[in-house]
Amino acid sequence: MAEPLGELTRTHTCGALRSGDVGANVVLLGWVHRVRDLGGLLFIDVRDRAGVTQVVFDKDDEALMAKGKRLRSEFVIGVEGPVRRRSEDTINAKLETGDVEVVVRKLTLLNEAKTPPFSVADDSPVSEDVRLKYRYLDLRRPRLASNMILRHRVTAAIRRYFDAQGFLEVETPILGKSTPEGARDYLVPSRVHAGEFFALPQSPQLFKQILMVAGIDRYVQICKCFRDEDLRADRQPEFTQVDVEMSFARPETIFNLIEPLMHDVFAVIGKTITTPFPRMSYAEAMAKYGSDKPDLRCGMPIQDVRELFRESSFGVFKKIVADGGTVRAFVVANAASYSRSAVDGIVNQEKAQGRHLLWARRAEDGTTTSSFPKAVGEETVRQLLDATGAGNGQLAFVVAGDPDATSKTLGQLRLTLAKRDGLLDPETYAFAWVVEFPLLEWDPEEKRYAAMHHPFTSPLDDDMAKLDTDPGSVRAKAYDLVLNGSEIGGGSTRIHDARVQSRMFELLNIGAEEAKLRFGFFLEALEYGTPPHGGIALGLDRMCAILANESSIREVIAFPKTATAVDLMTNAPSSVSPRQLRELHLLPRT
């Protein structure tokens, strides 16, 4: 039977006691972590969020001992008694409280617990479905408990930083109008207005821009965003952004704001990061790494060696170059570990995917071998290795074809090899700004342009004239913050001129009528003295996952959904009553 809490008040957390506390009379409140019943001796480890403390029952107090022996894992208890030093042979160096123990004088059984479906006391592997169903038990375990503490410290550091920089945290609506981040909206039917819907925000984009029109000047919000996408990879239907907007900001202003923020965020885990972060254009990232989120921990940049083949006797490559294609290569960082059969294996894997990969190698003695046809000649192979900087003992992989495709192929291979060779050290933090993204991307299905970032992103001043003549080549004042191959944030300088904004809608095939219907309120606001402005949104979940060295963002979210967008603990989504549906005008009234 559970006893009342009464006046019982915790004096210390279960992580607090040290040898300096010996002699003090303390009260600990927490869960039974482990029971060690040695017959005449009974030890209980008591746990709360802060840690674990051993308590010991006095064998002379029979009634107390009998009560103690009824304790099971995860019962909730209060213990009161003096702190004493453990005998030398029982000191537990692994436990912060391991020098001491509490002698139980009074035990209060505050609640019993069913036997948990998995052990809370250790982090032994348990299937994720079970962990998600019993999330409250999983959250008690050390891994998730420390992730929650980390996440709190990160958000606290973020708030402190922005406050010191004069930012105001302003809340924006959850029930709103469809926003333009390009994903599907979650819709909320209106009961009051039959047939009308709110949309949950994909981001507060328009509100934060309107806050700039409103003179807020510097806005930040740690906010939930909702996107109804098929949950590829590691996405969640609702996720958290650190959303930022600033008046009179250039891209540079935002970089200078965010770099010291990252410094403060990484200080939470005791890491010092180097600023400024390298910057590279989208075009450079795509060519050198085959990705707009390059992982810069492993070197191995892709290099263009097409000029070697323009006049070469290797007809296949010569033709590719003459037709506007290219030849690209990268030098493997760890060539010594690649036997001939390992190289053939890689080539065959690429072949199975329809990609034609060649290689060239220089042995320690300087002689060259390659998979190029004999006719290419050793001299060209040597020149190729020279051009890529591959010295003795080094190996280069080579692909020819369409420039984007060659870099993509080599970029993926580069990452595969980096993983294989353990070059992606999770404790190295390689940041980069990728800048000057294309403003538009061609949607071949819809046969029209779509905004690559979102429709409110400003073109580069230098490219403004090309909006009419060659819109596909216009670069944007858009940037992404990349960390270890993940995009952890993205933003842009915005369009603040209503005419340019209308032109942008035209380019996106959004007619004047539709623009007015969807964004009329915003276009109108732009006409009332809008300062130039820009901002960024950082993905808090991904950032915390990287800081916690977790590969999935689910490990840093208290109550995440599965990959199929289900909450296994609450069983949401679930059906609702016909009455509710009728009220919402989703079923005809009978």
Closer of 128 and 181 to ligand ASP (Cβ): 181
Residue 492 engages ligand ASP in binding (rule: CB under 6 A): yes
Q: What is the largest CA-CA distance in the chain?
A: 96
DSSP collapsed to 3 states, 392-458: CCEEEEEEEECHHHHHHHHHHHHHHHHHHCCCCCCCCCCEEEEECCECEEEECCCCEEEECCCCCEC
Tell me how far apart the alpha carbons of residues 188 and 326 are, in angstroms, rounded to a whole number. Answer: 50
435, 491, 544, 548: which one binds ligand ASP (CB under 6 A):
491
Q: What's the sign of the alpha-carbon dihedral 102, 105, 110, 115?
A: positive
Report yes or no: 100 and 23 within 8 Å, Cβ to Cβ.
no
Q: How many Cβ atoms are within 10 Å of 341's Cβ, its own excluded?
A: 8
| Token representation of residue 358 | 């060649």
Tell me how far apart the alpha carbons of residues 113 and 134 are, in angstroms, rounded to a whole number. Answer: 13
Nearest residue to 453 (alpha-carbon basis) of 498, 490, 404, 398:
490
DSSP collapsed to 3 states, 204-229: CHHHHHHHHHCCCCEEEEEEEEECCC
Binding to ligand ASP by CB under 6 A, coded x per residue (else -) over 422-451, reads ------------------------------
| Token representation of residue 334 | 């760890």
Instruction: With H, G, I as helix, E, B as strand and everything else as coil, classify residue 494.
Output: strand
* Shortest reach from residue 492's CB to ligand ASP, in Å: 5
Nearest residue to 383 (alpha-carbon basis) of 393, 394, 368, 397:
368
Closer of 53 and 209 to ligand ASP (Cβ): 209
Closer of 236 and 492 to ligand ASP (Cβ): 492
Residue 458 engages ligand ASP in binding (rule: CB under 6 A): no
| Span of 75-83, 361-369, 435-443, 534-542 interacting with ligand ASP by CB under 6 A | 534-542
- Alpha-helical regions (H) of 28-141: 62-68, 128-133, 135-138
Residue 539 engages ligand ASP in binding (rule: CB under 6 A): no
* Shortest reach from residue 477's CB to ligand ASP, in Å: 11
280, 384, 536, 545: which one binds ligand ASP (CB under 6 A):
536
Which letter does DSSP use for residue 86 in this model?
P
| Span of 29-37, 78-86, 366-374, 488-496 interacting with ligand ASP by CB under 6 A | 488-496
| Token representation of residue 293 | 């989120």
Closer of 388 and 493 to ligand ASP (Cβ): 493
Residue 181 engages ligand ASP in binding (rule: CB under 6 A): yes
Nearest residue to 459 (alpha-carbon basis) of 423, 410, 421, 508:
508
Q: How many Cβ atoms are within 10 Å of 157's Cβ, its own excluded?
A: 17
* Shortest reach from residue 120's CB to ligand ASP, in Å: 37
Residue 493 engages ligand ASP in binding (rule: CB under 6 A): no
205, 370, 493, 530: which one binds ligand ASP (CB under 6 A):
205
Which residue(s) pair with 48 in the sheet?
Answer: 51
| Span of 34-42, 137-145, 304-312, 532-540 interacting with ligand ASP by CB under 6 A | 532-540
Residue 292 engages ligand ASP in binding (rule: CB under 6 A): no
Which letter does DSSP use for residue 163 in this model?
H
Tell me how far apart the alpha carbons of residues 438 and 457 are, in angstroms, rounded to a whole number. Answer: 10
| Token representation of residue 439 | 């403003």
**How many positions of this chain bind ligand ASP (CB under 6 A)?**
9
* Shortest reach from residue 537's CB to ligand ASP, in Å: 4
* Shortest reach from residue 168's CB to ligand ASP, in Å: 16
| Span of 147-155, 212-220, 314-322, 533-541 interacting with ligand ASP by CB under 6 A | 533-541
68, 81, 490, 560: which one binds ligand ASP (CB under 6 A):
490
* Shortest reach from residue 219's CB to ligand ASP, in Å: 11
Closer of 51 and 204 to ligand ASP (Cβ): 204
* Shortest reach from residue 173's CB to ligand ASP, in Å: 15
Residues ≥6 apart with Cβ < 8 Å to 424: 295, 297, 298, 415, 418, 484, 485
Integer CA distances (angstroms), 448 to 282, 347, 443, in order: 22, 38, 5
Q: How many Cβ atoms are within 10 Å of 432's Cβ, its own excluded?
A: 21
Binding to ligand ASP by CB under 6 A, coded x per residue (else -) over 128-167, reads ----------------------------------------
Residue 538 engages ligand ASP in binding (rule: CB under 6 A): no
Residue 203 engages ligand ASP in binding (rule: CB under 6 A): yes
* Shortest reach from residue 343's CB to ligand ASP, in Å: 41
* Shortest reach from residue 203's CB to ligand ASP, in Å: 3
Closer of 408 and 454 to ligand ASP (Cβ): 454
Nearest residue to 380 (alpha-carbon basis) of 320, 327, 336:
327
Closer of 471 and 490 to ligand ASP (Cβ): 490
Residue 535 engages ligand ASP in binding (rule: CB under 6 A): yes
| Span of 11-19, 362-370, 486-494, 545-553 interacting with ligand ASP by CB under 6 A | 486-494
Closer of 172 and 492 to ligand ASP (Cβ): 492
Residue 537 engages ligand ASP in binding (rule: CB under 6 A): yes
* Shortest reach from residue 486's CB to ligand ASP, in Å: 14
* Shortest reach from residue 564's CB to ligand ASP, in Å: 23
Tell me how far apart the alpha carbons of residues 393 and 64 are, in angstroms, rounded to a whole number. Answer: 73
Closer of 148 and 183 to ligand ASP (Cβ): 183
Residue 501 engages ligand ASP in binding (rule: CB under 6 A): no
Closer of 107 and 213 to ligand ASP (Cβ): 213
Pairing relationship of beta strands 76-85 and 51-57 according to DSSP bridges: unpaired
Q: Exposed, middle or buried, 394 (CB in 10 Å: 0-12/13-18/19+)?
A: buried
Closer of 227 and 362 to ligand ASP (Cβ): 227
Binding-site ranges for ligand ASP (CB under 6 A): 181, 203, 205, 490-492, 535-537
